[in-house]
Structure 1
Amino acid sequence: MHWTVAAPFLERDDNHWLTPYVPGERHQFQLIPSQQPSANWHNRHSSVSGWKEWVMYWQQGKAAIEATQGGVITVFPQLAATVGLQQQKMGRRIPVVAWLFNVGTCNPGIRRLAAQLSLHRIDRFIVHTRRERVLYSQWLNLPDNRFEFVPYQAPEIPIQYEENETQPFIVSLGSAHRDFPTLFKAVEALNLPTIVASGKRALEGLPIPAQVQTPFGISRSDCLRLAQEARINVIPLMPNPTATAAGQVTLVEAMRMGRAIIATRCHGADDYIQHGETGLLVDPQSVDDLKQAIEQLWNDPQLRQRLGNAAKQYAAQHFSDEAAGIALGRILDSVADQISVRGVGKTKWSTT
């Protein structure tokens, strides 16, 4: 079956995303590049997509629909929404698989209605935490069998730096739903040097302890270097009942690099970390729990090595491009089988 692939980060024909890792020859792929590169999330002034970005998504989605001889694979919710709307406008029934579907927050009111209108014709939503299946099913009023959990994946990351044993430090990377107040209290009480590489919006208004450095505007390569040089990687997450998921990118990349990790037990972190086996999980907003975990890892190099090695092995098996490609192939087979049984023109979307 022929599929076009639309993602904001596809800027050239040689960026093949996951398509080389889909097994077999049943599916063929055509990538639809974006007309311009997507903005760096940490440097954005707003968490909401602006109208210029929506125009870009609309154009890329339109190109994907026009080019396909079968179905469309979208990456990120905005492209799924634009493709869903254009299906209705054009009166065409096109199979759509929405990969990396994470809306951040399930807002009520007009945003929920707009999401329901634009997304009710999507065949599969691929989410990266198990709890999102329930959240999105309820929010969009769609059956939960349209939502499938596939772990977030990352390619192998070369290890270029060793742990800094001369000037050891803790690192915390990322912005979304981060609980930096709890982290700051813990490292201040322990008096341990810490580097927080995040966005200005995530740190705005917070008092920064003397033990903490907050470099802004650093590159991705700088972030990877910090993660590799740090003694401990900490992903502190703030519980929020309206939020969907957070921290998966940072978690998976740290695991792929074999780092010793502490993460808050919320937003799906336990879908990735097995407590005591591939990392440590701590209770939300518990300074004492976080302090204890940091102190334990900081003073036990054998534990750090064991957790890091296990995390790297587990991530290679479950969070790699190869593993995601196999999952994508299975999902495309399922959608194609449904289409062939029902017939493209006769397929209907269930809303119950």
Structure 2
Amino acid sequence: MDIIFVSPQYQHDRSRSKTSLSDWSDYWSHSKRVIKAAKVNNADIIVTAFPPLAVCVGIRKKLSFLRIPILAWAFNLGTLQKGIKKTIAKFSLSAVNKFIVPSSAETVTYSHFLARKKDDFVFIRFRKQQIIEFQKKHSSKKYILSMGAANRDYETLVTVAEQTVYPFIIVAPDRCKPKRDIPNNMKWLSFLSLDECHRLYQDAAMSIIPIKNTEIASGQITMIESMMHQTPVLVTDSIGARDYIEDSINGILLEPQSTQDMVEKIKMIWENNTLRMHYEEAGIKYVHEFLSGEAISNDVISVINSILKN
């Protein structure tokens, strides 16, 4: 199978709250190059990554009457739009043959949203490149780490910090900060590079991912990165977490918006070195077994073959 990559000529801020007009302009230009490459090379299939590119490629396919099938990979919507935005999404994405979604619950959610058959949506976990930048210091527990901007419940985490003496570091844009004073045992960091974010895992006792709306799949990339860096994961029980974290096996699921439950689980991991090391090892084992390039690639190839057979 020959693969032709049409790489993006842009790099967007992952922490941005919305896709700007400038971002959409980049995606639109990218989609033009994708369609051109598909035509020139007589492609059998077009595979896009993330929803905005799928939308733009879908529109161009419909306008050009192209018959090449489209597979929308890593299709995860942070918000289910309404009104004209929903109409545009349904129109453009009707040109997509199948969608790969990172949460099993999204196969149902998106089929309803786009008025499509459930079989048009296939659940395949996110995959991240293995990053080994340092040796994890198993004895180190300098702070509790929490990262990310999408759908985060930092209000509950700040309350937990106020009720404990543990040191916390939150890495998120200031727009995610609760409208209240941050306690002295918590640092709020913004504008860090990806490399700086990854290095914070070295001395982290655990990674907490508090989710606000449990019916929206979010936080999966942070879960994966935490496990890759051998850092125990504590994440709110939500539709995005259940496909990656098996409670008390490779991580811990937290009761939604429960300060008491989070305090108890944090104390359990912080004070038990043996248990903390268990989750460090279980996390990296899960990454190797289920999120390797080979495992994910085989699943994607299977979807591609099913499309080409029809």
Distance between the aligned counterparts of 2:271 and 2:214, measured in 1?
32
SS of the aligned residue for 1:122 comes to: coil
SS of the aligned residue for 1:78 comes to: helix
For the pair 1:152 / 2:122, whether they are aligned, the reply is no
> What RMSD, in angstroms, separates the aligned Cα atoms of the two structures?
1.6
Which of 236, 246, 261 is matched with 1:274 structurally?
A: 246
Deviations, residues 152-206 of structure 1 (Å, cap 9, x unaligned): 1111110515448576210001111111111111122121100001112211534
For the pair 1:90 / 2:64, whether they are aligned, the reply is yes
Distance between the aligned counterparts of 1:200 and 1:267, measured in 2?
26
Change (3 A) 1:206 1:328: farther
Aligned residue in 2 for 1:290: 262
Residue 246 of structure 1 and its aligned partner are, at CA, apart by: 0.6
Distance between the aligned counterparts of 1:333 and 1:146, measured in 2?
14
For the pair 1:322 / 2:294, whether they are aligned, the reply is yes
For the pair 1:262 / 2:234, whether they are aligned, the reply is yes
User: What are the residue-to-residue correspondences of 1:167-246 with 2, within 5 Å?
Assistant: 168-203=142-177, 205-239=179-213, 241=215, 244-246=216-218
Distance between the aligned counterparts of 2:56 and 2:130, measured in 1?
32
Q: Gapped runs of 5+ residues in structure 1?
A: 1-26, 339-352
Aligned residue in 2 for 1:6: none
Whether the 8 Å contact between 2:206 and 2:234 is mirrored in structure 1 is yes
Whether the 8 Å contact between 2:140 and 2:205 is mirrored in structure 1 is no
Aligned residue in 2 for 1:120: 94
SS of the aligned residue for 1:57 comes to: helix
Whether the 8 Å contact between 2:98 and 2:122 is mirrored in structure 1 is yes
Whether the 8 Å contact between 2:232 and 2:251 is mirrored in structure 1 is yes
Whether the 8 Å contact between 1:264 and 1:282 is mirrored in structure 2 is yes
Distance between the aligned counterparts of 1:163 and 1:110, measured in 2?
51
Which of 271, 274, 291 is matched with 1:299 structurally?
A: 271
User: What are the residue-to-residue correspondences of 1:95-110 with 2, within 5 Å?
Assistant: 95-110=69-84
For the pair 1:48 / 2:18, whether they are aligned, the reply is yes
Q: Gapped runs of 5+ residues in structure 2?
A: none
TM superposition outliers: structure 1 runs of 4+ over 6 Å: none
Whether the 8 Å contact between 2:138 and 2:277 is mirrored in structure 1 is no
Distance between the aligned counterparts of 1:53 and 1:224, measured in 2?
25
Whether the 8 Å contact between 1:164 and 1:230 is mirrored in structure 2 is no
For the pair 1:34 / 2:8, whether they are aligned, the reply is yes
* Identical-pair percentage: 30
Distance between the aligned counterparts of 1:112 and 1:262, measured in 2?
34
Deviations, residues 255-311 of structure 1 (Å, cap 9, x unaligned): 122211111001420110111110111110000110110000000010011111111
The TM-score, its normalising length taken from structure 1, stands at 0.83
Change (3 A) 1:222 1:191: same
Change (3 A) 1:118 1:206: farther
The TM-score, its normalising length taken from structure 2, stands at 0.94
Distance between the aligned counterparts of 1:167 and 1:276, measured in 2?
20
